[in-house]
Amino acid sequence: MIEQVRIENLGVIAAAELDLAPTFTVITGETGAGKTMVLTSLALLLGGKADAGLVRVGSDRAVVEGSFAVEPGGPAAARAEEAGAVVDDGELIAARTVPAAGRSRAHLGGRTVPHGVLGEIGEQLVTVHGQSDQLRLRAPAQQRAALDAFGGGAHAALLSAYREAWSAAVVAREELRAWEEAEGAREEEMAQLREGLDLIDSLDPQPGEDTALRDEASRLGNVEDLRVATGHAHQVLTGSDEAADVSVSDATTLLDDARRALDQGARDDSALSGWAERLAEASYLVSDVATELASYLAGLDADPERLSWVHERRAALAELTRVHGPDVDAALDWAERARQRLADLETPEEVAERLRDAVTTTAAALDQAAAALTDSRRGAGDRLCEAVGEELAGLAMPGAGLEVRLTPLDVPGPSGAESVELLLSGHPGAPARPLGQGASGGELSRVMLAIEVTLAGVDAGAAGETRTFVFDEVDAGVGGKAAVEVGRRLARLARGSQVVVVTHLAQVAAFADRHLVVTKSTPGGGDVVTATDVAAVDGEDRLRELARMLSGQDESDTALRHAAELVERADVQR
């Protein structure tokens, strides 16, 4: 969702700040006042092409900055964070700078990013419908995605099952192909596997042996240092006769003395008995450590022959791990896989038969999943066409209808066994043609509005994102009752999404929750739109703007009464 847009030196706009409603915002104004530049600013924020000609005359650069509300953890926030942007408490700041000379720059969340990243974020959040835009639903992949989204949860489960079946079938075919093509290389591979296995079998390494040998080599190579360290510790703990340098009693004696003292004191204060018990435990622990140190010292002998053998063994294992893994355990894992692979290579016909069976099984599963998905798409297509037809009837396109065409593919793809195409029939008896062909810009915008309203319940985003829809003169060629229906449907779409509309029709503007007016001023004889010329209107100011749109006279009592009636009826019908 777009919360705010700030514009500086873009076309005729010197400075403007637009606060958009989370629901339905309408933008109106006289022809040539600068509404197009408002839409251009949105296009720049969404990664659109920058043109130095957009920079206001006399300025060195144009700047557009927008604040987006994104769902934490959602796809838009994830893509922004992947690009290094900072998402602050669900708010994402995007900016685009267009210099009068040179390349434009894009910023996202405080980081410089390629403008294409803005486009990727925009795809997650905003859909723009304009008479000259490349409409979202014109792409076959988007048409298929729209139909699948309309299908609901049960359809989504069928699509997921199909994709799993398709992936399994592709893997099975690839494994069989690779096996059949590798026939000439099998002998060489078997020789390599046998050589590696012979080396491992001859060394017979044990799990973790390299680590154990490393520790043993360190111990054998530092016997004297270890003897001094452990011997001193043992002497201090036990007070043995050899501890000539120990000037105080041994640790066990001191602990026992302290415990006995506390036992004596406990006769007068029971609180001391707890500490006496803990000292007794410490004494037992020290005695255990002293015993283990004595045993360690007894076995700590220099053994040059053993040390030499350990070094030789480690060198042999190092050669093994250099080829087959970072350590002995990895080499043993390789050996296990190699034995299975060698068994397969030595029985090629059995393996080929098993792979052919897998291809047959996965192909049958894919056919079954594809048939179920196709049937579900056909049913979803019928429901979609019926719903869109009802919407079109109220948008001054009586008799117009949508058709969903499913065309079988020669080879099933990752998204199904058929292509999906949306076609439009402009009136009864007219041939159905692909969207965008044979329809005027206004008609096409209304078709898109009908589809978007129908899909609104499922197009808000699985991750909870509030999607933004921007319509540029969706009401072109519409008037009277049909114009009211356009406004009512836009208001319905805004119940679960953010809707921004540029319109010339008061019947549409009356349904908006926020009304922005773009006006032209000429201070000093110039031709610019200043910061004060893009403003939100409410109350009497809004009625005067609606009156101007109705009759061209914002002070006409009749027009003002009509405007008030429009707003009142819109409040009732929304």
Annotate 73-86 with three-state secondary structure.
CCHHHHHHHHCCCC
Q: What was the pLDDT predicted at 440?
A: 64
Per-residue pLDDT band at 234 (split at 50, 70, 90): confident
How many CB atoms sit inside 10 A of residue 378's CB?
13
Say yes or no to pLDDT of 130 above 80: no
Q: Which of 133-142, 195-204, 345-354 has the highest mean pLDDT?
A: 195-204
- Over range 165-182, report the average pLDDT: 90
pLDDT of residue 482: 79
Kindly report, residue by residue over 189-209, the tens digit of the pLDDT.
777 888 888 888 888 899 988
Cα distances (angstroms) measured from residue 54 to each of 7, 98, 252: 12, 8, 88
Lowest mean pLDDT among 12-21, 86-95, 304-313, 561-570: 304-313
- The pLDDT tens digits of the residues spanning 465-512 come to 678 888 887 776 677 787 888 888 889 888 888 999 999 899 999 999
- Tell me the per-residue pLDDT of 499-520, one tens digit each, with 9 for 90 and over: 999 998 999 999 999 999 988 7
Distances (CA, A) of 391 to 380, 381, 486, 488: 17, 15, 9, 11
Residue 135 has pLDDT above 60, yes or no: no
pLDDT grade for 529, boundaries at 50, 70 and 90: very low
Most confident of 260-264, 308-312, 363-367, 564-568: 363-367
Residue, of 222 and 527, whose pLDDT is higher: 222
Q: Where are the domains of the chain?
A: 209-326
Kindly state the tokens that stand for 417.
């066994």
Q: What is the mean pLDDT of residues 437-456?
A: 72
Rounded to the nearest 5°, which phi and psi values hold at 187?
-60, -45
pLDDT value of position 72 = 86
pLDDT of residue 274 exceeding 60: yes
Output 73 or 413, whichever has higher pLDDT.
413
Q: How far is CA 231 from the centre of its chain?
A: 61
Overall size of the chain counted in residues: 574
CA distance 37 to 55: 11
Does residue 439 have a pLDDT over 70? no
**pLDDT score of 24:** 94
DSSP sequence for 13-38: EEEEEEE--SSEEEEEE-TTSSHHHH
| Mean pLDDT along residues 80-97 | 91
More confident residue, 565 or 299: 565
Q: What share of the chain has pLDDT > 70, as a percent?
A: 90
Asked if residue 325 has pLDDT above 90, the reply is no
What pLDDT was estimated at residue 460?
46
Of the ranges 14-23, 241-250, 412-421, the best mean pLDDT one? 412-421
pLDDT at 65 over 80: yes
What residue type is 471 in one-letter code? F
What angle is formed at CA 70 by the lines to CA 64 and CA 71, rounded to 5 degrees? 175
pLDDT value at residue 406: 96
pLDDT score at 195: 82
Residue 464 has pLDDT above 60, yes or no: no
Which of 233-242, 284-293, 395-404 has the lowest average pLDDT?
Answer: 233-242
pLDDT band at 133 (very low <50, low <70, confident <90, very high): very low
Average pLDDT over residues 265-270: 81
The Cα 258–Cα 273 span in angstroms is 12
In whole angstroms, give the CA distance from residue 244 to residue 19.
Answer: 87
Q: What is the pLDDT of residue 295?
A: 85
Give dist(CA 499, CA 265) in Å, integer.
83
The per-residue pLDDT of the chain, averaged, comes to 84
- Sorting pLDDT into bands at 50, 70 and 90, what band is 247? very low
Mean pLDDT calculated for residue range 264-287? 86
Quick check: 570 pLDDT over 90?
no
In angstroms, the CA 150 to CA 379 distance is 11
**HSE of 362, CA atoms in CB hemisphere, 13 A:** 21
Question: Which of 157-166, 218-227, 448-457, 560-569 tops mean pLDDT?
Answer: 157-166
139 has a pLDDT exceeding 80: no
Average pLDDT over residues 152-177: 94
Q: How many CB atoms lie within 10 A of CB 214?
A: 13
Q: Output the CA torsion 26→30→31→37 (10° steps).
A: -50
Extract the tokens encoding 540.
Answer: 């009497």
Residues 567 and 512 sit within 8 Å (Cβ to Cβ): no
More confident residue, 198 or 540: 540
Report the pLDDT averaged over residues 428-443. 74
Question: Minimum mean pLDDT among 321-330, 331-340, 465-474: which range?
Answer: 465-474
- C-alpha 265/C-alpha 310 separation (Å) is 57
Mean pLDDT along residues 63-68: 94
